Amino acid sequence: MSKEITSREADYSQWYNDLVLKSGLADYTPVRGCMVIKPYGFALWENMRDTLDRMFKETGHVNAYFPLLIPKSFLSKEAAHVEGFAKECAVVTHYRLMNDPNGGGVIVDPEAKLEEELIIRPTSETIIWHTYKDWIQSHRDLPLLINQWANVMRWEMRTRLFLRTSEFLWQEGHTAHATRQEAVEETERMLDIYAQFAEEFMAVPVIRGIKTASERFAGAEETYCIEAMMQDGKALQAGTSHFLGQNFAKAFDVKFANKENQMEYVWATSWGVSTRLVGALVMAHSDDEGLILPPRIAPFQVVIVPIYKGEEQKKLIDEKVNAIMKELKSYGIRVKYDDKDNARPGWKFAEYELKGVPVRMAIGARDLEQNVVELARRDTREKSTVSLDGISDHIRQLLEDVQQAMFDKAQKFRDEHITEVNSKEEFIRLLDEKGGFLSAHWDGSTETEDAIKEATKATIRCIPLNNKQEEGKCVWTGKPSSQRVLFARAY
C-alpha cells in the first residue's frame, strides 16, 4: 500500500515525516520551510489552542492582535534582541508589482520602494513595547496581561514539518508589571501552565528549568523552559517563558508613576508555545502503525465502524449507532461514525490507527444479537468485547485510562532516560549508546558548555527548577560545581 510508514528503527526522521504526511496533519508547499496545516492537523492544533486559551484567560490574560509587519528601526532598539533575530528576518522592501515591459510576467516595481523597510515579525516584543508606551502611565495601568495568537516568520536554514518551519503559528504573551517580583512570578506562573498543559492534555511529561546564558532568549534576563523527551532520546524544548527585566521598558522608554509618584521602568515577561507542540506530540507517543493521540486533544476520541452485509443489517446498525452517538455526545465525547461504503472495515481500522484515534468501536450484526460491541484502544492496540449497557460510561472511563496510560508510558521512558554521569568518558559513551538526558556537574562557564557542544553535539537543556544542590566536579573540566544540570542532544 502507498500508506506504508518507515519504521522508527529503520529511520526515525523518515518515520516522523511519513507520519505527518500520511496521517494528513500537514503537507509541503512551493515555499521552502512553509507548510500547509491540513484540516486534521489543524483540528489538533485548535484543540491545543483552545485549551491553552482557556488557561490563559483563567489566569487573567486577555487577547489582542498586533501587526505582522514591524518597522525595521524597531528591531535595533534592544541590542541583544537584534543580535538574536537579525540573521533570520524576512524583509519587505516594495509595495507594488508591475507587468514586465520585456514580457515574462510580473516583476517588482522599482518605483515602489518603501522608504522604511518592514520586517515580518519573528516575534512581537518590539511592536508591542512600542505600543505599551502609550498604554502605561501609572501603577494603576499595571499589570498589563496580554496574549496574542499569531503567525511569525524566522528564515530557518534547515526546516522540518512542525518542528522547525519558517512560518509557524503560536501564541505570545507579553506582560508588564510594577515590580521585579511580580514579573518573575508571572514568568513562573506561565511556565507552570505550559507544564500542566503538556502533561495533562498532551500526556507529555516535561522538566521545568532555567536556560543557561547561551541558550537564553535574546533580550531576556532569564529564560525558563519545559523540556520533553522524544522516543529517539533527543530532547525537545516545548515552551519558553522569559523574564525580560526592564530591557524592553528601557529600550522603548516605558515608565509608570508609582504610588509615591516617582517614575519607574516597568518589568516585563513574554512567553510562547507554537505549532512545534504538534511535532512534540507526534514524536513522543506514536508508533510504527501511525499516530497515537491523547484523548483530551484528539480531533476524534472515538470512531465507530459498522460491519454489515446488506442494507437491512446496515439499517439496524445505524439505529443503534445513532443512539450510542447521541449519548456519547451528551457526555461531551467527540465521536465520528464512518459508514461510508467505499472502504471495508479492515481498511478503516488501518486508517484510523494511522490517524491515531484513541478508541475504535466496531459494531456488526453479530454484536447486535449479543448486545455488545468491540472496542480497540489505540495506545496498546488491545481489543475487548463490551456490553452495550452502560457503554458510554465505559468509553468515558476508557478514554481516561488511555490518557493516563499514555502519560505513564511516556514518563517511564523519560525517567529511564535520565542518567547521572560522573566522568567525561561515561558522558560521551552514554550519549551515543543510550541518549536521553545526562545529569552531570558543570562548572557554570559558557566556555565549557561550548566545548561540550563542539565535542558531543549535546547542549545544556536546562538547570531544573528546585534542583538538588550537591558538591561535585564538572564532568568536563573537573572544576568545582554545586549542582547537576541536564545535557542532551536536542531538536
Distance CA 376, CA 359 (A): 6
For residue 103, the SS3 value is: coil
36 binds RNA (CB under 7 A): no
Rule CB under 7 A: choose which of 150, 354, 402, 485 binds RNA.
354
Q: How far is the CB of 227 from RNA (least distance, A)?
A: 8
105 binds RNA (CB under 7 A): no
Q: How far is the CB of 350 from RNA (least distance, A)?
A: 3
Contact 489, 436 (CB under 8 A): no
Nearer to RNA, 184 or 354 (CB): 354
For residue 272, the SS3 value is: strand
Distance CA 280, CA 267 (A): 32
Q: How far is the CB of 473 from RNA (least distance, A)?
A: 25
Neighbours of 160 (CB within 10 A): 17
Rule CB under 7 A: choose which of 364, 411, 413, 472 binds RNA.
364
Binding segment toward RNA, per CB under 7 A, in 42-50, 190-198, 246-254, 363-371: 363-371
Q: How far is the CB of 22 from RNA (least distance, A)?
A: 8
Q: Which three cell numbers stand for residue 211?
A: 536556560
Q: How far is the CB of 481 from RNA (least distance, A)?
A: 21
For residue 288, the SS3 value is: coil
Task: Count interface residues toward RNA (CB under 7 A).
Answer: 64
342 binds RNA (CB under 7 A): yes
Rule CB under 7 A: choose which of 111, 262, 309, 433 binds RNA.
309
What is the DSSP secondary-structure string of 112-178?
-EEEEEEEEPSS-HHHHHHHHHHH--BGGG--EEEEEEEEEE---SS-BTTTB-SEEEEEEEEEEES
Pattern 208-237, binding to RNA, x per CB under 7 A?
A: ---x---x--x------x-----------x
Q: How far is the CB of 396 from RNA (least distance, A)?
A: 21
156 binds RNA (CB under 7 A): yes
Q: How far is the CB of 462 from RNA (least distance, A)?
A: 8
Alpha carbons within 13 A on the beta-carbon side of 304: 25
Q: Is 103 left (phi over 0), alpha (psi -120 to 50) or beta?
A: left
Rule CB under 7 A: choose which of 8, 33, 44, 399 binds RNA.
33
Type of residue found at 17: N
Distance CA 46, CA 355 (A): 16
Q: How far is the CB of 113 from RNA (least distance, A)?
A: 21
Rule CB under 7 A: choose which of 9, 116, 157, 260 binds RNA.
157
427 binds RNA (CB under 7 A): no
Nearer to RNA, 161 or 229 (CB): 161
1 binds RNA (CB under 7 A): yes
Taking CB under 7 A as the criterion, which residues in 56-95 touch RNA?
A: 84-85, 87-88
Binding segment toward RNA, per CB under 7 A, in 108-116, 134-142, 261-269, 371-379: 371-379
31 binds RNA (CB under 7 A): yes
Rule CB under 7 A: choose which of 108, 350, 386, 430 binds RNA.
350
Query: If DSSP states are collapsed to H, E and C, what string results for 17-56?
Result: HHHHHHCCCEEECCCCCCEEECHHHHHHHHHHHHHHHHHH
Burial state string for 227-244 with b = 16 or more CB within 10 A and e = fewer than 16:
bbbbbebbbbbbbbbbbb
Distance CA 50, CA 41 (A): 14
Rule CB under 7 A: choose which of 363, 399, 440, 458 binds RNA.
363
Type of residue found at 37: I
Rule CB under 7 A: choose which of 39, 60, 67, 346 binds RNA.
346
Q: Which three cell numbers stand for residue 34?
A: 512553509
Q: How far is the CB of 96 from RNA (least distance, A)?
A: 22
- Give CA separation, 452 vs 6, 134, 440, in Å: 33, 46, 12
Contact 238, 276 (CB under 8 A): yes
Q: How far is the CB of 266 from RNA (least distance, A)?
A: 24
Pattern 241-280, binding to RNA, x per CB under 7 A?
A: ----------------------------------------
Distance CA 195, CA 31 (A): 33
Binding segment toward RNA, per CB under 7 A, in 62-70, 149-157, 171-179, 396-404: 149-157
**387-396 long-range CB contacts below 8 Å, 24 or more apart?**
388/320, 388/324, 391/324, 391/327, 392/324, 392/327, 392/328, 392/330, 392/331, 392/333, 395/302, 395/328, 395/333, 395/359, 395/361, 396/331, 396/333
Rule CB under 7 A: choose which of 58, 101, 115, 158 binds RNA.
158
Nearer to RNA, 143 or 272 (CB): 272
Rule CB under 7 A: choose which of 52, 145, 150, 161 binds RNA.
161
Binding segment toward RNA, per CB under 7 A, in 46-54, 63-71, 343-351, 411-419: 343-351
Q: How far out from the chain centre does Cα 85 lie?
A: 21
DSSP 8-state assignment for residue 295: T
Binding residues (CB under 7 A) for RNA: these are 1-3, 13-14, 17, 28-34, 84-85, 87-88, 154, 156-161, 164, 211, 215, 218, 225, 237, 240, 289, 307-310, 341-351, 353-354, 362-367, 373-374, 376, 381, 383, 457, 459, 461, 490
